[in-house]
Amino acid sequence: MDGEEGNGGFETRRRRRRRGRGRRRGLDLLPNLFTTGNLFFGWYTIVQATLGDPWHAALGIVLAMVFDILDGRVARLARATSKFGGEYDSLSDIVSFGVAPAMLAFAAGDLRELGRAGWVLAFLYTVCAALRLARFNVAPSRYKGRFEGLPSPAAAAMVASSTWFAQFLQERFGAVWFPASGIALGIAALGILMVSRIPYRSFKQIDLRHSFGTLVVLAVVLPLLAIEPSLTLFLVVLAYVLSGPYEAIWRWRTGARLEEVEMPAVEVRTGEAI
């Protein structure tokens, strides 16, 4: 009798361990599902841009950003961070924030008018986004609370918000002409900002409970987003894109310095120096 009860207890514990491992595998898989959502909307953007629907293509970039934010948050909450997840996230980001925005700019900006120069400048954006992501993976920023170079999601948001802003102007003022050369130079400039060493503010560490200034900004921006989302989003993203060079010039003129973080020793490999 005792032996039977002992065997029964052992089987119960084994079933519990199996259920626990099953739940653990489910939690480990969850962040990758959000990363897949990011990748899907990057692909969605490419398809919509090819079909000539810039509005939905820009929406795909915004939704990819949402899933990109969520996969990291979910991974940390579920304690399911892994090297595989990090690599998968980077590969998805190259599609969503490197290839997709370049395709959107090429199609919506009619860069084919420029011939070879059009697709070369669009590709410059893509390769800069890939280099930016690779550098971020192997060499985090030297400065506390800052990204080094324009983050690729912010650059993609600039392309998406510019698309909506152009449609906003056309709806309000009729036919508005945007030169293809200006669009090509603009997207090339975004690419250069991504691979630059210009520090950009990171908002990951902001605590809304103790940041009164951030709450004030949100209180102003959110109603404006509800009233004129296309115009407000464009201005907010543009302000962030310009904030890096502006603050760099201000620090150069005033002699102010950013707080540097200690960088761990890393193995230098061919192709990692950017």
Per-residue pLDDT of the chain (274 residues; tens, 9 = 90+): 455 455 555 455 555 555 545 455 555 677 888 899 999 999 999 999 999 999 999 999 999 999 998 887 777 776 766 788 788 899 999 999 999 999 999 999 999 999 999 999 999 999 999 999 999 888 777 888 889 999 999 999 999 999 999 999 988 887 778 899 999 999 999 999 999 999 998 876 555 555 656 666 667 777 777 778 889 899 999 999 999 999 999 999 998 888 877 655 444 333 333 3
Q: What is the pLDDT of residue 15?
A: 54
Q: What is the pLDDT of residue 217?
A: 67
Q: What is the pLDDT of residue 248?
A: 93
Q: What is the amino acid identity at position 188?
A: A
Q: What is the pLDDT of residue 29?
A: 75
Structure tokens at 92: 């998805």
Q: Which domains does the chain have, with CATH numbers?
A: 2-254 (1.20.120.1760)
Q: What is the pLDDT of residue 126?
A: 97
Of 192, 189, 158, nearest in space to 62 by CA: 158
DSSP 3-state of 165? helix
Q: How far apart are CA 58 and CA 41, in angstroms?
A: 10
Q: What is the pLDDT of residue 48?
A: 97
263: left (phi over 0), alpha (psi -120 to 50) or beta: beta
Q: What is the pLDDT of residue 271?
A: 37
Q: What is the pLDDT of residue 203?
A: 72
Q: Which residue has the tokens 């709450």?
A: 215
**DSSP annotation string for 36-101:** HHHHHHHHHHHHHHHTT-HHHHHHHHHHHHHHHHHHHHHHHHTT---HHHHHHHHHHHHIIIIIHH
Residues in a beta bridge with 200: 147
